[in-house]
Amino acid sequence: MVLHRTAQAQDGVAFSLAVPSDLSFVGDAVDLAARHCDVGVLSQRRLQFNLRTALAEALANAIAYGNRHDPSKLVRIEVACRPDAVRIQVADDGLGFDPSQVPDPTTPEFLEREGGRGLFVLRHLVDTIEFNERGNCVCLVLRAG
């Protein structure tokens, strides 16, 4: 796992992370990113819960469904902490997916299933979520506060 600090200016901090496509790296990658985002933009509560959970979700999805655990592929995380918001981009090398086709996991027929809650949880943790057209890159925005 490689962290590269791309900017540290008066208006914020930016860095990138390259994470191997192995789910055992998720915890450490989230921890590393959260520590570098601890610059006062987000409250401690949102930093320790919303940001960590959202990044864990996005990263796990990219490793499992995007790169399909392929050890030759990396997941790329770009983070920019600005005074108004923290913006996180997570990209994989997969074929992408259509987020509108993901079923609602809170319906009675899905409630007792083990999987399928990731995107639903992600949407509730961040202020904005956007996918690129291909569906292999997600951009998460947590506004300051």
Partner 1 sequence: MGFSVSKDPRGVVIVGVDGQLIVGNRQELKQKVLDSLEGGTRRFVIDFTKTGYIDSSGLGVLVSLSKKVREQGGDLRLAGLNEDLQTLFELTKLDTLFAIAKTPAEALAAF
Binding residues for partner 1, per CB under 8 A?
Answer: 23-27, 30, 45, 48-50, 52-53, 56-57, 60, 64, 105-106, 111-118, 120-121, 124
Residue closer to partner 1, measured from CB, 99 or 105: 105
Closer CB to partner 1, residue 60 or residue 141? 60
Tokens standing for residue 98: 């259509």
Q: How far is the CB of 9 from partner 1 (least distance, A)?
A: 30
Report in angstroms how near the CB of residue 116 gets to partner 1 at its nearest: 8
Q: How far is the CB of 130 from partner 1 (least distance, A)?
A: 20
User: Which of helix, strand or coil describes residue 142?
Assistant: strand
The helix/strand/coil state of 95 is coil
